[in-house]
Structure formats: C-alpha cells, structure tokens
Structure 1
Amino acid sequence: MILASHPTAAAVLEAVPCYPVPPTGSSPAIDALRAARAGHGLIVGDDGMMLILRRPWLALDYRVTEGPECHTPYGEVGPDALTFRCGPIPAVLLDDVLDHFAEAMPNEAAAFIVWNEVTNRFHIEFPKIDAATPSRLVYRPPVLGERCHLVCDIHSHGAAPAFFSETDNADDAHSTKIAIVVGLLGDPGGGPSFLARLCAGGMFLTLPGLPFAEVADAA
C-alpha cells in the first residue's frame, strides 16, 4: 500500500512509521521497530499511542496519548519502558566533571559523557568554550568519533540553583540525550544540586535520579 504520492513525504513516513497493534498474536513490524539499533516510530492501540525510540545506547517506549474514544479493533500498546542499553555510567566520571566545574567557578562550564559502542566504554569530552560568565555559556560541541554516542550533556550554573532555562529547552528540543544541570557549586550548606531529564522525541522526561553508578570497569 502506498501511503503518500510525494516521494519526500513517502520517505518521511517510511523513516517514522506508525503501526496498529494487533488484537492477538504479534506484529513483525512492531517487533522489528523495538529491536532496531536506531530509529523511531509510533504504535497505536486501544489504550493509546506509544512512541518507540531506539538509539544504540537507549531503548524508550513511552505512551504519548491515552486511548481513543471511538472503538478500535486493536490490542494494547502496553506499559512505558526505559532501558539504557549502554549500561550505567561510572560514577568516577561525574566526580571528574564536578572537579572541572569547580575549577571553572564562578563561571558556567560544560561537559559531555560519550559512550563507544564498540569498546563499551565511556569517556568525557570537554567542549571548546567561546564565552563563559556566571550566567552564560557559549561553546562548540565536540565532534564525535565513529560509533561514539553522546549520552549525557552536563552543564553548570555555578553558584546559582540548578534549573533548565528557556535557552536549554531550545537547545535540547531536537536532541536525544540525558541533560543534566548542576547548581549551587561551592555552597557548603546544600550544594551541589542536580536536575536530570531525558530529551527524546521533542519531549523532556524527568529522571528520578542521576544515571551514574559505582561499577568495576570504570573508564
């Protein structure tokens, strides 16, 4: 079946497909979407519509709407699910990032956590800074090597509290990554503070905690 007569429109629909959930049995198309190394699409069931997003380091199933009011002969999309395919990020890398942020005080600073899917190891990339003040940061993101993926985009607010600004929202709107803001650096009474979210499909999903863990194989 041809979904669109215009070749560009057809390519878009092929790149981001939408599949109904069968009422019984399985769907090879949905199974392939869930098993993909990278890509995304939508599935529609009688309990709503779900975004299926895959990156080499991430697997996200997230319901974006509740079920339709009309009757549909479809099955259920199922529960939300989030898996970091890359595994936990070594906590020692967060320590190194915080040390870097402390050295940059009182100015803001930034760092990226990158995962190499071939070696299954993480490392830090520090961007080229064009301008930095206690309230503003202009930088150039690093150029990533082959099979390397940006997992975490971290920046500091210096001594100010951690929050996502309108500039952050605009920068993150078209990205798939974990974004973290660090605030209250140098505050002996309560710092540092953290806010973390997953940026995916134009959405900002709050994370309950930081994606770092004490692991034996630290980079």
Structure 2
Amino acid sequence: MMMNAYLTDPRDRILFGETPTYMQPLFGEKLPAPELGKHRFVIGQEGVVLEAINEVFEVRLPVAQSIIKLPYGVLGAQGVRLRHGAMPFRLLEIIEQKATSACPDEWAGWVVWDVLHQGYALIEPEILSVGPGHVSYRNELPEGSAIVLDVHTHGRMPAFFSGVDDVSDRHGFYVAGVIGHCHDRKNYATRMNVNGHFFDCEDFRLFFD
C-alpha cells in the first residue's frame, strides 16, 4: 500500500508528495536523505522536526515537541550544517567594514558558494534604491552560485526582521542576517529560512572561521 493511498483527493496527494511526513524508524535503517532543495517533516519519539538539504546546507530543525513519548525512533542531533565547511572569516570582516562604511544608509550582500570555483564569495547585488531606512536590490544570483548568507544592515537602527524581509525570504533556503547599530556597538539578528519557514538560528557570525 502506498503511503498516501488513504488520501482520496488528488490535491492532498500532490501536497504530500511535495512536503511528505515520515516516521523516524525505531528498528530499521535510517531514512534516506531528503530530496535536494525540498523539505520534509519527520516524527520521532520527541516530536516533529523539519529536514532539508540543498547544495550548501543540511538542516534538521525542531518544529514541535511532543508531550508524550511517541512510538518511533529517536530524532537525534538537530541543527544547521554547512556542507562545504565554514565560510572564511575574511568575508565577515569585509561585511562588517561595509556595514560601518554605509551607515547611516543600509547595505546588502550575499555570501554564495561558487560551484565552478568550489569556494565562498561575497557578492553585492545591483542596488535599486537605498537610504537610512531601506535597501532594495535586484534579486539575481550569478549563474552557478548558491546563496549561503543573505545579509543586510539597518544603519543606526537595531537589527530585526521586518515584514518586508518575511516576504523577501519566503522562497529561500539560506541563513539570513541583519546588522544593526552600525554607527556604534553593532547588534545582530539571525534566522534560518527553509522554503518559507523561519527558524531561530545561532548568530550568523559563528558560521565563519
């Protein structure tokens, strides 16, 4: 019997096919890796996690904790892993410098994985409009690039994610960062974006080494 055979409406089958839910095996072999670029939900003894993988990330992130011990396998370690290792610290230094130099205006940049050269690079997108309270840019990545970090600054304002950010990030699969108070002691906001789902994440600076 197919896993989705109980679904009587074809729309539910399509939805299940695009975003499936699995049980964590208790006795058998571990689950195969998720389909590249997509996400799935896995139910284990402790609750529910989201799992996803793309060119640069492997993530297993908590969605809900169960108040009872469910009859499935243990979910195990959770978090975010960079498949190609940490980003070079020199790129973070450049980002910090640009954040300071641009203040009081905002600034935006991407750290990408260059598939051709097999390395990380910092890219500044084509700016359409910028000022102390906004930055808008052309959202086009160079061919052969996979976004790792989408970072922008808030000039003299504190770091936070706005409603505009929520719309911009709803289709992405990357770490998003904001740098605030760029004129003084900077503060930071970070989240992991996975196909429209936003998760708390460790400070994006910790992904550099």
TM-score when normalising by structure 1: 0.80
Q: Match for residue 56 of structure 2?
A: 57
State the AA in 2 paired with 1:43.
Answer: V
Q: Which amino acid aligns with 1:44?
A: I
Q: Secondary structure at the match of 2:133?
A: coil
SS at match of 1:180: strand
Aligned residues: 205
Moved more, 125-134 or 169-178: 169-178
Deviates more, 1:161-170 or 1:104-113: 161-170
The 1:15–1:144 alpha-carbon spacing in structure 2 relative to 1, beyond 3 Å, is farther
Of 133-142 and 170-179, deviating more is 170-179
Q: What residue in structure 1 maps to residue 87 of structure 2?
A: 89
Return the offset for 1:78: 2.5
Q: Tell me the distance in 2 between the aligned counterparts of 1:90 and 1:117.
A: 16
* Structure 2: distance between partners of 1:206 and 1:212: 11
Are the aligned partners of 2:157 and 2:180 in contact in 1 as well (CA < 8 Å)? yes
- Residue 32 (str. 1) matches residue 33 (str. 2): yes
Counterpart pick for 1:159 among 144, 152, 156: 156
- The separation in 1 between residues aligned to 2:65 and 2:159, in whole angstroms, is 32
Looking at structure 2, the residues matched to 122 and 105 of structure 1 have their Cα atoms a distance apart, in angstroms, of: 25
Change (3 A) 1:37 1:170: closer
Could you tell me which of 177, 180, 183 is aligned with 1:180?
177
What's the counterpart of residue 119 of structure 1? Answer: 117
| Counterpart selection for 1:198 from 181, 192, 196 | 192
> What's the CA shift string for 1:136-179, capped at 9, x where partnerless?
22221223313x21111111111222222232233223322111
Alignment partners' CA distance in 2, 1:23 and 1:211: 34
Aligned to 1:10: 13
Output the aligned Cα RMSD: 2.5
1:24 is paired with a residue whose SS is: coil
Q: CA deviation at 1:184?
A: 1.9
Separation in 2 of the partners of 1:153 and 1:208? 13
Percent identity of paired positions between Structure 1 and Structure 2: 25
The separation in 1 between residues aligned to 2:201 and 2:97, in whole angstroms, is 25
Distance 1:208 1:105 in 2: 21
Q: Which stretch shifts more, 204-213 or 11-20?
A: 204-213
2:147 paired with 1:150 = yes
The DSSP-based 3-state class of the residue aligned with 1:99 is helix
Q: CA deviation at 1:58?
A: 0.7
Q: Please give the alpha-carbon distance, in whole angstroms, between the structure 1 residues aligned to 2:10 and 2:108.
A: 41
Looking at structure 2, the residues matched to 125 and 99 of structure 1 have their Cα atoms a distance apart, in angstroms, of 14
Contact kept in structure 2, 1:162 and 1:184, CA below 8 Å:
yes
Contact map agreement 2:48 2:64 (CA 8 A) in 1: yes
> What SS does structure 2 have at the residue aligned with 1:89?
coil
Q: Distance in 2 between matches of 1:212 and 1:64?
A: 22
Greater shift, 2-11 or 36-45, is seen at 2-11
1:68-97 residue CA offsets vs partner (Å, 9 max, x unmatched): 65x854222233232111211112112223
Change (3 A) 1:19 1:57: same
User: SS of the residue aligned with 1:210?
Assistant: helix
